[in-house]
Amino acid sequence: YTQAKALVYSKNGEPSDVLKLHTHAISPSIPSSSVLVRSLAAPINPADINTIQGTYGSKQPLTSLIGTSEPSAVPGTEGVFEVVSTGSPSSELKKGDWVIPAVSQIGTWRTHAVLGAHELLNVDKEGLTPTQVALVSVNPCTAYRILRSYGPSAGIKAALGMRPLDVGSGQWFIQNGANSGVGRAAIQFGRLWGLRSINVIRDRDTPEATDALKQELLALGADVVVTESHFLSREWKDQLAEITRNGREQIGLGLNCVGGKSATSLARSLGEGATMVSYGGMAKQPVALPLGLLIFKDIRFVGFWLSKWNQQDVTGRKHMIGDILGLVRAGQFRDVPVDEVKWDWDTEEAALRGAAQNGLKGFRQGKGVFVF
Ligand code: NDP
């Protein structure tokens, strides 16, 4: 038997209130279509916390599969596992392979799991660290997919009935939450694909800390970094005019991670016919849109949800992940800063809960990742 531990919740609420650490034993005889895996790394993403809170767009089923006293779910949608054993010798997966979830909300916050082979995607681990692989499938994929769908390559997009980013002569996009995992990925893909970015970050405690974050994003390939206080002030209009050479290079795409006033200002910064894609609502504030932007500037407001897109294009997802891991391996795509949370047999429940609860906190130094 393999001794395993999993974080579980049986009702929605704050992670620090509802998460429990459950210990169970996994039988060595596993179904032929399944594999026993052990976790290597599992990120703590905002969506995981929203799922535990019960505010996310999809809910996890509560089951008694791992012997919890009440029907429960294991949170965590992203991570990398190592295959320990397979239910059938003819399985395509082999002992030692690294796999990532092929479906969302698989439950990665656990030391071991028995999962269906069809629920997993084998990845080439050559030259990669567990954290790099664990972090590939949510944030970079979101940025990749949004920029590919609403960014350049006009011909393909027109054929798909999408709006290309070909407004004016510029290939600018603008985003808030620019230091988020998605934001950092968008900056880097933008640089690789010839797009220029304007990046909004929230002011830090001190000017030095703000400047250090600016420099970090510039080093990733950001063209312009502005603080939110400046972005929401009157001066922004003049600076924007300078950046866009008085509107000659319009901004064709906006990526909204935040909502609230920041999103309104983002929308106001866009050029005629531009698209604003909302993918996150970190400020938990609704978006007010001046109607003139819809009527006179014909700006399109759309949303993006990776889970939906993944279901609709399984093959496309595989290619995308291969492509991104290739860039990581080649040193062309840099990891987000991470805050590693060591999870070994003796790690206490309170420490794991606390780490989960921290995942939605602002002004973090890095993304929380359970490392096993
Ligand atoms: P990260 O944990 O990497 O970063 C969080 C970001 O949110 C930081 O930029 C942080 O800025 C900012 N932030 C935190 N609190 C607030 C606040 N109160 N007001 C404004 N900004 C805030 O996040 P991810 O990149 O993983 O996710 C970012 C968003 O994108 C989330 O809302 C997530 O759910 C969403 N997302 C959506 C997907 C989709 O398919 N639609 C897929 C992936 C992510 P600071 O450092 O200043 O605190």
The answer to whether 204 and 249 are in contact (CB under 8 A) is no
181 pocket-lining for ligand 1 (C-beta < 6 Å): yes
- Residue 193 pLDDT level (bands cut at 50, 70, 90): confident
**How far is it, in rounded angstroms, from Cα 293 to Cα 268?**
7
Rg (CA), the chain: 22
46 CB within 6 A, ligand 1:
yes
* Ligand 1 contacts CB of residue 170 (under 6 A): no
Predicted pLDDT of residue 161? 56
The Å distance, Cα 90 to ligand 1 centre, comes to: 42
Half-sphere exposure of 45 (CA within 13 A, CB side): 28
List alpha helices for the chain, DSSP H: 15-18, 46-53, 130-134, 139-150, 154-159, 181-192, 207-220, 228-231, 235-243, 260-268, 291-295, 306-312, 314-329, 349-358
The single residue of 1, 9, 56, 150 carrying the catalytic annotation is 56
Nearest CA to ligand 1 atom 17: 283
Q: Is 180 in the pocket of ligand 1 (CB under 6 A)?
A: yes
Q: How many CB atoms lie within 10 A of CB 130?
A: 20
What's the first-to-final CA gap in the chain, in angstroms?
Answer: 19
Using an 8 Å Cβ cutoff, are 100 and 134 in contact?
yes
Nearest atom, ligand 1, residue 177 CA: 9
pLDDT value for 151: 77
> 204-219 burial, b for 16+ CB within 10 Å, e for fewer?
beeeeebeebbebbee
Atom of ligand 1 nearest to the CA of 283: 19
The yes-or-no answer on residue 56 being catalytic is yes
Band the pLDDT of 204: cuts 50, 70, 90: very high
Query: Residue 140 corresponds to which tokens in the numbers above?
Result: 């970079």
CA angle 288, 290, 291 (to 5 degrees): 120
Buried b (16+ CB within 10 A) or exposed e, 265-296: bbbbbbbebbbbbbbbbbbeeebeeeeebeee
Quote the ligand 1 centre to 258 CA distance (angstroms): 7
pLDDT of residue 154: 45
Flag whether pLDDT at 338 surpasses 70.
yes
> Does ligand 1 have an atom closer than 6 angstroms to the CB of 367?
yes
Give mean pLDDT, residues 90-95.
96
Q: Which residue has the tokens 């047999």?
A: 345
How far apart, in whole angstroms, are the C-alpha atoms of residue 246 and residue 265?
17
Q: Find the 280 Cα to ligand 1 centroid distance in Å.
A: 6
> How many whole angstroms from 278 Cα to the centroid of ligand 1?
12
Q: Of the ranges 104-113, 116-125, 162-171, 282-291, which one carries the lowest mean pLDDT score?
A: 162-171
Report the complex ipTM: 0.99
Does 177 sit in the ligand 1 pocket, CB within 6 Å?
Answer: yes
Distance from C-alpha of 269 to C-alpha of 356, rounded to nearest angstrom: 35
Bridge partners (DSSP) of residue 35 are 86, 115
The mean pLDDT of 335-350, rounded to a whole number, is 97
Q: Which of 151, 143, 169 is nearest to 324 (CA)?
A: 143
Q: Mean pLDDT of all residues in the chain?
A: 94
Q: For residue 179, which atom of ligand 1 is closest to its CA?
A: 9
Please give the structure tokens belonging to residue 143: 């940025």
Query: For position 306, what pLDDT does the model report?
Result: 98
Element (H, E) at 26: strand 20-26
Minimum-distance ligand 1 atom for the alpha carbon of 279: 41
Dist. CA 187 → ligand 1 center (Å): 15
Q: Which residues pair with 287 in a beta bridge?
A: none
| pLDDT of res. 171 | 84
